[in-house]
Structure 1
Amino acid sequence: MRRLRNDLPYTFRPPKPRGWFRRLGLWANDLYLRRKFGVSRLDDQGFEKVRELSRAGHAILLAPNHADHSDPHVMVSLVAKQGMHSHFMAAREVFEVSKTASWALESMGVFSVDRDGPDLSAIKTAISLLEKTSDPLVIYPEGEIYHHHERLDPLHEGVASILLKAAGRLENGKEAYLVPVGIRFRHDPEVEETFSDRLSKLEDRIGWTPKPSMPVDDRILRLGTGLLGLKEMEYLGEAGRGNIQDRLATICESLLSEVESRLGKDAKSLSAPERVRALRYRIRRRLLDAERPPTFIERDGLLDDLDRAFTALQAHSYIGDYFLAERTLDRRAETIMKLEEDLLGFPNYPTPRTARVNAGEPIPVSKMLAAGELPAKGGAGELTRLLEAKLASLLVAS
């Protein structure tokens, strides 16, 4: 996960697809997949059904899990492989890297969303695209990248809510479909040879003497526990004891409760990601208050609270038993990549990977509404639970 200490005003970036740039972008996208992310092969199934629905003129929302930075590039390639264009909803932060990046994203049919607040422009754009085109719209219901492909984080209801609203506006026989998409990455066995040197760099990064003679699994656990202890010392004043999962839950809850004690708690936000989003929204709204700007001291405190919220989400993103339960090659690789991102800013992809992508059976939302299987109002939670169950089964099968 990348640190977000963004106090800039938000400007919505709409999709402005340009045909000539899309053709160039597809070529660059495939090159980027191989060279930057090490994805040398795409194994996919189920996208023929998506193509059939698109050609029939229906509204399609693709909802993949989101565990790797290359996920959007994978989806662009697979949708294009079926002869379709795609639209994406993407976090505002990727548009704010540079003006060139923003222009390129818009030209590829990507539009921004502020994940920390009610972004009505993004919601209206998504609904409009579903209503007016049959090009698949891609939205990641997990919201964040957590680097654990075999476990889903709780899904946001926004995806289901958008599709339900769009379904109510469709005319002339056009129907709405929600398609779960499971993405899993398989690492080439040669990645194991890179583990020792990469762990040495991480150990050196925090001032430890590298231990290349220690078994890899022990080094991963030692490093992860050490990082957790550093964060506990930084925010709680002492390193915790007990199992890792309990310690992660404790620091997450302590940080969120501390910030909420100052800024208030949103009664509707129950999970850690929801609480973090609510806090980031309140903090940024206060930081950007033009009528009553914060003092320098208050501003520093608000930025510190952004860091606390980030650390809480970071702790939440580590599943204590994920690596311990099954110490497979892929889980070793994913855990090291996650540690690299947290310590070095971005993970490494040193050897080839295969992306296995399974588009599940499309969920006929319009038909379910017509049959009374989904309520027109208040059905987002039920549809989200259905999507979550189908996504989880796809990840197991991949």
Structure 2
Amino acid sequence: MRRLRNDLPYTFRPPLWRSWFRPLGLWANRRILLKKYRIGQLENEGFDELGKLVSQGDAVILAPNHADHADPHVMLEVGGRHHLPLHFMAAREVFEISKRGAWALQSMGIFSVDRDGPDLSAIKTAMGLLQQGKPLVMYPEGEIYHHHERLDPLHEGVASILLKVAAKLPEGKRAWLVPIGMRFRHGPEVEATFNERLSRLEDRIGWTPRPAMPVDDRILRLGSGVLALKETEFLGKAGTGSLQERLDYLCSTLLAEVEGRRGSDPRAVTPPERVRAQRYRIRKCLLDEKNVPTEKQRIELLDDLDRVFAALQAHSYIGDYLLENPTLDRHAETVMKLEEDLFGFPEYPTSRVARVVAGEALNVSQMLADGELPAKGGAGILTTTLEEKLNQILSKI
């Protein structure tokens, strides 16, 4: 996961669809960005039916799992293949890398969202696009966790937006929620890259590389060592117990510490929700023009940002993910995850196959009419249904 410690004021970036730019953007995505992420083959299924819904002008949200940095580029390519004018809601941070990059993103129909606060501009923009019959891609997991075979708990924002739109659609128009399963598979040649990459990771934390050690043992030893460093940094000493127990304890302890200083949000229950609530509170203090923090207060606020980031990192690891089923893909995903946490970005050393499957669209309008979803408070039920459908798709691809 990428470390976020910025205190920049947020500027909403609306979609600025430029039809003349789209062919160039799709070409650059295919020729440059998919190659950057080593997508050698892209398979897709179920998008013909999706095209029919879009052609009717219905409100359609595509909700994929989010396990890799290549996800949006793969979705953009699939949309281009099927002539789908996809719009995307994307984290504000990707617009803050460069002005040219932000211009290109907006030109492709991508708009920003501040994931840490109530971004009303993003919500209104999403609803407006859906009411106009423009398909929208939203990632209900919110973060990239690098474990394709297990979903993180989904946020209710996707369901909430679509339910609000469904209530405002004119007669004859319907609202649809489409679960999209995405998987990235590695060829056998990736196995030959593990030793050298693990050696670099071991060297990164000051260890002597152990290329003779079995890969499973080496990955778990390295993961435990990195966790011990984080525990010592924030708790003063390395923890005891199983790997999952230590991860859970670090996450819950860091969040409790920060909430004790900054206050808590009773609506935030899961670790990602609690992290977002704290990031929002901390950044609000950092950017308070009426009560500008002193240098000492600023340092303390930034330190707390680091704590909630470390908590989210701990939450993002699944202690038994590798050992439960030590496949080639799970080895590759875990090494990539460690690379991102220690170097800032993972390596993509060999070609991968991306497979994208559009599941059966959920007719949200019909579910409301039949009483399957209540007009108010239905976001939780719809999110649970979406999670079940995504898990079913992921188990088969």
- Provide the TM-score with structure 2 as the length reference: 0.99
2:45 aligned residue: 45
User: What's the offset of the Cα at 1:7?
Assistant: 0.4
Give the structure 2 partner of residue 145 of structure 1: 144
Q: Could you report, residue by residue, the CA deviation over 1:369-391 in whole angstroms, capped at 9, with x for unpaired residues?
A: 11111111110000000000000
- 1:295 aligns with 294
Is the Cα–Cα contact under 8 Å of residues 33 and 74 in structure 1 kept in the other structure? no
1: CA distance, partners of 2:240 / 2:171 = 62
Identity %: 66
Q: 2: distance between equivalents of 1:129 and 1:171?
A: 14
* Equivalent residue runs for 1:1-398 within 5 Å: 1-133=1-133, 135-398=134-397
Distance 2:228 2:19 in 1: 51
How far off is 1:242 after superposition?
1.2
Q: Distance in 2 between matches of 1:55 and 1:122?
A: 24
- Residue aligned with 2:20, SS: helix
Cα distance in 1, alignment partners of residues 83 and 130 from structure 2: 18
Paired letter, 1:356: R
CA positional deviation for 1:157: 0.2
Q: Residue deviations 1:323-345, cap 9 Å, x none?
A: 11011000000000000000011
| Partner SS state of residue 78, structure 1 | helix
98-107 or 309-318, larger mean C-alpha shift: 98-107
Q: Secondary structure at the match of 1:20?
A: coil
What is the Cα deviation at residue 286 of structure 1?
0.4
Q: Give the whole-Å Cα distance in 2 for the aligned partners of 1:71 and 1:31.
A: 16
Q: Aligned residue pairs: how many? A: 397
Q: Secondary structure at the match of 2:176?
A: strand
Q: Is the 8 A contact 2:117 2:276 kept in 1?
A: yes
- Residue 101 of structure 1: how far off its partner (Å): 1.0
Contact 1:38 1:351 in 2 (8 A): yes
Contact 1:33 1:40 survives alignment (8 Å): no
Distance 2:84 2:257 in 1: 48
More divergent stretch after superposition (297-306 vs 365-374):
365-374
Do 1:323 and 1:332's aligned partners in 2 also have CA atoms closer than 8 Å? yes
In the TM superposition, what is the alpha-carbon distance from 1:84 to its structure 2 partner?
A: 1.5
Task: Give 3-state SS (helix, strand or coil) of 2:145's partner.
Answer: coil
What per-residue deviation string (whole Å, max 9, x for no partner) do you get for residues 283-305 of structure 1? 00000000010110000000000
* Amino acid in the other structure paired with 2:364: V
Q: Could you say what secondary structure the match of 2:366 adopts?
A: helix
Output the amino acid matched with 1:55. Answer: S
Using structure 1 for the length normalisation, give the TM-score.
0.99
Distance 1:265 1:321 in 2: 30
- Retained in 2: the 8 A contact 1:16–1:109? yes
Q: 1:356 to 1:119 in 2, by over 3 A?
A: same
**Unpaired stretches in structure 2, ≥5 consecutive residues:** none
Q: Secondary structure of 1:356's partner?
A: strand
Counterpart CA distance in 2 for 1:358 and 1:239 is: 42
Quote the Cα distance in structure 2 between the aligned partners of 1:60 and 1:270: 28
Amino acid at match of 1:45: E
The one-character-per-residue Cα deviations of 1:98-133 (angstroms, maximum 9, x if unpaired) are 111111110010000000000000000000000012
d(CA) in 2 for partners of 1:6, 1:141? 23
Query: Distance in 1 between the 2:19 and 2:55 partners?
Result: 19
Q: CA deviation at 1:6?
A: 1.4
Deviations 1:268-324 (A, max 9, x none): 111100000000000000000000101100000000000000000000000001111
User: What's the C-alpha RMSD, in Å, of the aligned pairs?
Assistant: 0.7
Gaps of 5+ in 1: none
Check the 8 A contact 1:87/1:109 in 2, yes or no: yes
How many Å separate the matches in 2 of 1:288 and 1:333? 40
Give the conservation status (yes or no) of the 8 Å contact 2:57–2:132: no
What secondary structure does 2:261 align onto? helix
4+ long deviations beyond 3 Å? none
Alpha-carbon distance, 1:33 to partner: 4.0
Partner Cα distance (1:378, 1:253) in 2: 28
Preserved contact between residue 34 and residue 73 of structure 2 (Cα < 8 Å): no
